[in-house]
C-alpha cells in the first residue's frame, strides 16, 4: 500500500478549495489515501516573506479572474466570500480535533467548511461559524467547541503548522508524495504523472 498524500491547505485559500475538490479523484487513481493537514498561511508568510495574493496589486487582480475561471472549468460551485481572507485557526483546530477519532469524518467536515465559505458565503472565520458547519454534518458541536479550546489541540495545531514550515511548505495548496513536494493546484497533473511513473 503506497503512502498517503499529504495535503496542506488553508481554509481561506481559494486555490486550496479547488484542490480540495480535485484531490480525491487523483488519490483514488493511485490507490492512495489523503492526509488532510490544515495550516495557517499567516505564519508561513512570516517565514517566506510572502503576502496574501489578495493584497498584491497585480497578482490579486489575476487571482480574482483566475479562481472563478478554474472553478467553472471543473464544475466547482464558487462565489467570492465576504470577508476575505479570514482567520482560519478555529477551523484548523477543529480538523485536528476530529482527525484522531474519525479521519473520514474530519475530511467530510473539512470539505463542508470549504464549501460553506467558498460556495455558500458563510463566514467560517469565527468558532460559531465552524461549529454551525459541524452541526450540519451531524457532528457534536458542543464537544467540538470544547475541543477547539483545548490547550492540547491548540498546541497540536501550532505544532502542525511549525512542522509544515520545517518541511518547507511554502504556500497552499501544497502536497508531499513520498517526500516529493508539489506546490499549487496547477501542479496536480504533474503530481499525477509523478505517481504514475514513480518519479523521473
Which parts of this chain interact with a copy of itself (CB under 8 A)?
A: 44, 47-51, 56-59, 61-62, 65-66, 69-70, 72-73, 165, 168-171, 181, 183-184, 186-187, 189-190, 193, 200
Distance (Å, whole) CA 92 – CA 89: 5
Active-site residue identified among 13, 16, 33, 48: 13
Q: List, in order, residues 6 or more apart from 10 with CB less than 8 Å away.
A: 16, 38, 39, 40, 41, 88, 92, 172
Distance (Å, whole) CA 179 – CA 84: 32
| Three cell numbers, residue 175 | 502536497
Cβ proximity to a copy of itself: between 29 and 100 the closer is 29
The H or E element containing residue 119 is none
User: Minimal distance in Å, beta carbon 47 to a copy of itself?
Assistant: 6
Cβ proximity to a copy of itself: between 56 and 120 the closer is 56
Cβ proximity to a copy of itself: between 26 and 130 the closer is 26
User: Minimal distance in Å, beta carbon 89 to a copy of itself?
Assistant: 20
Is 13 marked active-site? yes
Cβ proximity to a copy of itself: between 47 and 79 the closer is 47
User: Minimal distance in Å, beta carbon 182 to a copy of itself?
Assistant: 9
Distance (Å, whole) CA 166 – CA 146: 29
Q: Cell 504533474, residue?
A: 190
Query: Which residues does the annotation mark as catalytic?
Result: 13
Amino acid at each position: 500500500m503506497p503512502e498517503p498524500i499529504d495535503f496542506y491547505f488553508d481554509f481561506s485559500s481559494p486555490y486550496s478549495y479547488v484542490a480540495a475538490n480535485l484531490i480525491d479523484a487523483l488519490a483514488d487513481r493511485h490507490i492512495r489515501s489523503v492526509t488532510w493537514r490544515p495550516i495557517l498561511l499567516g505564519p508561513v508568510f512570516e517565514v517566506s516573506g510572502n503576502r496574501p495574493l489578495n493584497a498584491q496589486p497585480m497578482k490579486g487582480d489575476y487571482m480574482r479572474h483566475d479562481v472563478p475561471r478554474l472553478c467553472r472549468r471543473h464544475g466547482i460551485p464558487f462565489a467570492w466570500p465576504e470577508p476575505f481572507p479570514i482567520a482560519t485557526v478555529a477551523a484548523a483546530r477543529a480538523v485536528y480535533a476530529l482527525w484522531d477519532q474519525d479521519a473520514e469524518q474530519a475530511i467530510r467536515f473539512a470539505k463542508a467548511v470549504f464549501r460553506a465559505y467558498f460556495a455558500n458565503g458563510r463566514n467560517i472565520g469565527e468558532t460559531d461559524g465552524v461549529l454551525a458547519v459541524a452541526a450540519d454534518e451531524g457532528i457534536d458541536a458542543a464537544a467540538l467547541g470544547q475541543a477547539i479550546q483545548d490547550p492540547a489541540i491548540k498546541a497540536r495545531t501550532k505544532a502542525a503548522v511549525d512542522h509544515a514550515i520545517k518541511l518547507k511548505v511554502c504556500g497552499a495548496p501544497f502536497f508531499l508524495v513520498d517526500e516529493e513536494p508539489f506546490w499549487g493546484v496547477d501542479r496536480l497533473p504533474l503530481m499525477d504523472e509523478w505517481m504514475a511513473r514513480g518519479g523521473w
